[in-house]
């Protein structure tokens, strides 16, 4: 037993060092001052650089909109398919997983003409990126919610609720959603992480999101760009921690499967 | 009054609310090539508990779900309390349903589960709580009100499900093999409890099972189904003693097939004349369906000369009763039931005489 525990811990430590080392290096680099002094100038710049602040705002807004859009799209659809038209499940799954197989660059090329229209109709706000991002996170969110749905027999639960007098809306809100919370939260987490880290599409469509601005900054002031990157990592990590706390109150349906997605 | 749950006060102490009548007319439903319901008609009188009994896949669940509104029909009509509800959607039918699979809402405690239907009916919280408490008491789980489903055993979960179904004072209570996931002992106990509760509340009940013992023990009347149709519906005693078709005779209880010669309303069988049940083939060589307890097996003695002769193959001890397998001299193998007192004389290999009691039997065409 002892030996096993030792092996386990040493694996953890090695992996921990491997993952932490670059972050520590980034922290070290971003706090490097003139000569061998330390300075937090780069970190302070995060709050004062107007471009950066607006990029952070845009990215966070994008993340929230994407999560809301994805969940509004997927949860009712997948529930409906499972309850009413189970034979359509393969098709829906195929469609939702499709973006995985299409490289981002191809998506951009394909979507650029559509965005010409989107810009024409909705203005050129970077928030219009939400549409592409929903497509982008679809496969991951689908897997997460599907895992949540497979963890409970929602067909029987829905029938029980129906016979007790629940409308379909009540079935969705009071029965299905609370019981696939784990899956929904996983879907949200992964969506946020993806949106905050997305660079290719935003850059090619010329929107100044967080990653795009970090990249630009990197050319001008490397220390600030590295500091922001670390901050973004820490933010995502904290977000994960918070969500893991609220996630599965009674059952962890859905969390496990996303981690290997 | 039917939909008024709030004013009803205590369902537990109040005199039984008279149940309502149910009528299923010519229900048809196919799933591709599979005909699940093939013109099923069924009437249930108010307050009655009817069990639908039949082999797997004969359409029992489909029939129950059609009554609950959870299954669309190709054709046919459903009447409850004289009203045609064929087109009414499930959540407006006011049926209490207990499912075969565990169906409690995992995110709610036992009490919240029971109160859920009342919450949907906007019953005030205090009243909800009170009634949920009463119903949990009725099923003997008052002390588990705060438990979540995964903290309850299978039997407890099904009891809560029963309480939940009863909480809305359903027009009809629908039970789809609610006991099949439970072990034998809990099953028998819960079976009696469900029956007692049903008597107490007086709700018209349809109970689906493929377990004949369960059906016979619980129901006022048992409907035997086969291939999407009702073969016979009758009281347990009548069903057992006067089966109308060979399917019913053989599905309900054990049956021997014996060759006989019919004529004049009776049949010549094992050296005796036995009256025929209605629906029998009336003349010529027939196959007769005889219950094990209608057969008399005695050690071979000269005075029983007119009976058929045979030898005991095996005897199975079942407690007060025993089953004896006998091979007649003509090769027919029979299963007979004798009391355990007599079985000592019937060791395997013993030569015996087999006779038949004069209880009416069903004769069908063909030779055994
Ligand atoms: N949703 C469905 N899709 C396709 N076939 C179905 C469906 N529901 C039922 N069937 C078929 O209809 C027939 C009757 O099914 P049903 O569930 O009513 O049988 P049952 O008598 O309840 O059987 P069991 O005792 O096994 O529960 C079966 O052959 C079944 O395969
Ligand atoms: Mg069934």
Chain A residue with the nearest C-alpha to that of B161 = A160
User: Which tens digits make up the pLDDT trace of A163-193?
Assistant: 999 999 999 999 999 999 889 988 998 898 8
Query: Could you tell me which residues are beta bridge partners of residue A32?
Result: A38
Residue at token pair 């996931």: B181
Read off the pLDDT band of B303 (50, 70, 90).
Answer: low
**At residue A145, what are phi and psi to the nearest 5 degrees?**
-70, -35
Task: Judge if the beta carbon of residue B31 lies within 6 A of ligand 1.
Answer: yes
Q: State whether the beta carbon of B55 lies less than 6 angstroms from ligand 1.
A: no
Scan residues 57-76 of B and list those with Cβ closer than 8 Å to A. Answer: 68-70
Are residues B296 and B341 in contact, defined by beta-carbon separation less than 8 angstroms? no
Best CATH choice for the domain A46-260 from the list 3.30.420.80, 3.40.718.10, 1.10.3720.10, 2.40.50.140: 1.10.3720.10
What mean pLDDT is predicted for residues B340-367?
80
Answer yes or no: is pLDDT of B16 > 90: no
Interval B333-356 mean pLDDT: 81
Span B209-238, pLDDT tens digits: 988 888 888 899 999 999 999 999 999 998
Contact assignment for A162 to B117 by CB distance below 8 Å? no
Q: Answer whether A164 sits within 8 Å of B117, measured CB to CB.
A: yes
More confident site: B83 or B9:
B83
Distance from the CA of B37 to the center of ligand 1, in angstroms?
Answer: 9
pLDDT band with cut points at 50, 70 and 90 for residue B302: low
Distance of CA B89 to the CA centre of its chain: 27
B80 chain-A contacts, CB cut-off 8 A: none
Over residues B175-181, the mean pLDDT reads: 86
| CB atoms A179 and B107 under 8 Å | yes
Ligand 1 within 6 A of CB of B310? no
What is the 3-class SS of chain B, one letter each residue? CCCCCCCCCCCCCCCCCCCCCEEEEEEEEEECCEEEEEEEEEEECCCCEEEEECCCCCCHHHHHHHHHCCCCCCEEEEEECCEECCCCCHHHCCEEEECCCCCCCCCCCHHHHHHHHHHHCCCCHHHHHHHHHHHHHHCCCHHHCCCCHHHCCHHHHHHHHHHHHHHCCCCEEEEECCCCCCCHHHHHHHHHHHHHHHHHHCCEEEEEECCHHHHHHHCCEEEEEECCEEEEEECHHHHHHCCCCHHHHHHCCCCEEEEEEEECCEEEECCEEEEECCCCCCCEEEEEEECHHHEEEEECCHHHCCCEEEEEEEEEECCCEEEEEEEECCCCEEEEEEEHHHHCCCCCCCEEEEEECCCCEEEEECCC
Give A247 or B148, the one with higher predicted confidence.
B148
A165 and B121: CB-CB below 8 Å?
Answer: yes
Q: Does A156 touch chain B (CB under 8 A)?
A: yes
Least trusted range by pLDDT, from A93-97, B118-122, B292-296 = B292-296
Contacts of A170 in chain B (CB under 8 A): 120
Residue nearest to atom 30 of ligand 1 (CA): B57
* Residue A35 pLDDT: 78
Give the pLDDT band of residue B356 (cuts 50, 70, 90): confident
Q: For chain A, say whether B97 makes contact (Cβ under 8 Å).
A: yes
Chain A residues within 8 A of B70 when measuring between CB atoms: 159, 162-163
For the CA of B60, the nearest atom of ligand 1: 21
Q: How far apart are CA B102 and CA B94, in angstroms?
A: 20
- Interchain pair B93, A161: CB under 8 A: no
Over residues B254-291, the pLDDT tens digits come to 888 888 888 888 888 887 888 888 878 878 888 888 88
Given this model, what pLDDT does residue B42 score?
92
Mean pLDDT of chain B: 85
Tell me what pLDDT residue A107 has: 84
Beta strands across the sheet bearing B22-31: B34-44, B22-31, B75-80, B83-84
Higher pLDDT, B8 or A88: A88
Taking CA atoms only, the protein residue closest to ligand 1 atom 25 is B56
**Whether the Cβ atoms of residue B172 and residue B47 lie closer than 8 Å to each other:** no
- Is 0.95 exceeded by the ipTM? no
Mean pLDDT of chain A: 85
At B342, is the pLDDT very low, low, confident or very high (cuts 50, 70, 90)? confident
pLDDT in tens, B46-100: 989 999 999 988 999 999 999 999 999 999 999 998 889 999 999 999 899 999 8
User: Cα of B61 to ligand 1 centre, how many Å?
Assistant: 7
Higher pLDDT: B50 or B201? It is B50
B8 falls in which pLDDT band (50, 70, 90)? very low
- Provide, as residue numbers in chain B, all residues whose Cβ is less than 8 Å from the Cβ of A175: 105
* pLDDT tens readout for residues A73-86: 999 999 999 998 99
- Give chain A positions within 8 Å (CB) of B150: 250-251
User: Residue B100: what pLDDT?
Assistant: 87
Tell me the average pLDDT across B180-207. Answer: 85
Between positions 287 and 326 of B, the ones with CB within 8 A of A are: none
Contact B97/A178, CB-based, under 8 Å? no
B147 touches chain A (CB under 8 A): no
- Per-residue tokens: B57: 């896949």
Is the Cβ atom of B58 under 6 angstroms away from ligand 1? yes
Q: What are the structural domain ranges in chain A? A: 46-260
Is B96 in Cβ contact with A159 (below 8 Å)? no
pLDDT confidence of residue B346: 79
Token representation of residue A211? 């990653």
C-beta of residue A214 within 8 angstroms of C-beta of residue A201: no
Which stretches within chain A are classed as H helix? Answer: 2-30, 41-48, 50-84, 89-101, 104-122, 130-150, 154-163, 168-170, 177-179, 181-197, 200-204, 210-220, 222-246, 255-259
Contact between chains at A157 and B117 (C-beta distance less than 8 A): no
Q: How far is the CA of B187 from the centre of ligand 1 (A)?
A: 23
The answer, yes or no, to whether any atom of ligand 1 lies below 6 A from the CB of B56, is yes
- Of B91, B97, B106, the C-alpha closest to A175 is B106
| Residue located nearest, by CA, to atom 24 of ligand 1 | B56
Highest mean predicted confidence (pLDDT) among B33-47, B302-316, B342-356: B33-47
pLDDT digits (tens, 9 = 90+) for B236-247: 998 888 888 888
Of the ranges A50-54, A102-106, B83-87, which is most confident?
B83-87
Helix (H, G, I), strand (E, B) or coil at A151: coil
Enter the pTM of the model. Answer: 0.80
CB-based contacts of A34-39 (< 8 A; 24+ apart in sequence): none
Calpha distance A36→A33 (Å, rounded): 6
Q: Locate the chain A residue with the closest alpha carbon to B162.
A: A160
């Amino acid at each position: 037993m002892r030996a096993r525990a030792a092996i386990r811990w040493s694996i953890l430590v090695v992996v921990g060092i491997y993952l932490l080392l670059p972050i520590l290096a980034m922290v070290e680099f971003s706090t490097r001052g003139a000569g061998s002094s330390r300075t937090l100038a780069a970190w302070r710049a995060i709050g004062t650089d107007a471009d950066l602040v607006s990029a952070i705002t845009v990215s966070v807004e994008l993340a929230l909109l994407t999560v809301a859009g994805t969940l509004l799209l997927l949860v009712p659809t997948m529930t409906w398919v499972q309850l009413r038209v189970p034979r359509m499940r393969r098709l829906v799954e195929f469609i939702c997983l499709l973006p995985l197989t299409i490289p981002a660059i191809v998506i951009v090329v394909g979507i650029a003409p559509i965005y010409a229209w989107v810009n024409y109709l909705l203005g050129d706000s970077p928030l219009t990126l939400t549409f592409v991002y929903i497509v982008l996170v679809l496969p991951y969110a689908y897997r997460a919610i599907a895992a949540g749905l497979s963890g409970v027999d929602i067909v029987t639960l829905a029938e029980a609720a129906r016979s007790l007098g629940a409308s379909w809306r009540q079935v969705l809100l009071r029965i299905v959603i609370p019981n696939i919370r784990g899956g929904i939260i996983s879907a949200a987490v992964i969506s946020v992480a993806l949106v905050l880290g997305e660079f290719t599409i935003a850059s090619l469509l010329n929107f100044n999101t967080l990653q795009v601005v970090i990249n630009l900054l990197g050319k001008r002031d490397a220390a600030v760009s590295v500091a922001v990157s670390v901050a973004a990592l820490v933010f995502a990590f904290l977000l994960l921690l918070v969500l893991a706390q609220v996630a599965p109150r009674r059952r962890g349906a859905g969390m496990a499967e996303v981690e290997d997605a | 009054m039917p939909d008024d749950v709030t004013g009803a006060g205590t369902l537990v102490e109040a005199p039984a609310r008279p149940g309502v009548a149910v009528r299923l007319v010519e229900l048809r439903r196919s799933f591709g090539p599979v005909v699940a319901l093939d013109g099923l008609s069924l009437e249930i009188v108010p307050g009655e508990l009817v069990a639908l009994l039949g082999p797997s896949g004969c359409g029992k669940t489909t029939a129950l779900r059609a009554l609950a509104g959870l299954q669309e029909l190709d054709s046919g009509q459903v009447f409850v309390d004289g009203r045609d509800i064929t087109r009414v959607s499930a959540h407006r039918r006011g049926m209490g349903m207990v499912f075969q699979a565990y169906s409690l809402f995992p995110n709610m405690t036992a009490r919240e589960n029971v109160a859920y239907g009342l919450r949907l009916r906007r019953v005030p919280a205090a009243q909800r709580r009170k009634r949920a408490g009463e119903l949990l008491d009725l099923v003997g789980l008052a002390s588990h009100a705060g438990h979540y489903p995964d903290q309850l055993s299978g039997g407890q979960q099904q009891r809560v499900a029963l309480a939940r179904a009863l909480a809305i004072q359903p027009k009809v209570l629908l039970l789809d093999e609610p006991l099949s996931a439970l072990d034998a002992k809990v099953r028998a106990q819960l079976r009696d409890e469900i029956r007692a509760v049903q008597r107490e509340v007086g709700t018209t009940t349809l109970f689906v099972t493929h377990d004949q013992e369960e059906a016979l023990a619980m129901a006022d009347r048992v409907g035997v189904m086969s291939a999407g149709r009702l073969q016979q519906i009758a009281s347990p005693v009548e069903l057992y003693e006067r089966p109308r078709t060979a399917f019913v005779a053989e599905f309900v209880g054990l049956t021997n097939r014996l060759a006989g010669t019919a004529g004049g309303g009776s049949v010549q069988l094992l050296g005796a004349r036995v009256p025929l049940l209605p629906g029998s083939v009336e003349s010529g060589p027939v196959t007769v369906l005889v219950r094990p307890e209608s057969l008399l097996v005695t050690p071979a003695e000269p005075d029983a000369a007119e009976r058929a002769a045979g030898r005991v193959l095996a005897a199975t001890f079942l407690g007060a009763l025993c089953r004896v397998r006998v091979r007649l001299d003509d090769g027919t193998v029979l299963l007979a039931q004798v009391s355990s007192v007599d079985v000592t004389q019937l060791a395997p290999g013993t030569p015996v005489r087999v006779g038949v009691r004069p209880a009416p039997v069903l004769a069908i065409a063909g030779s055994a």
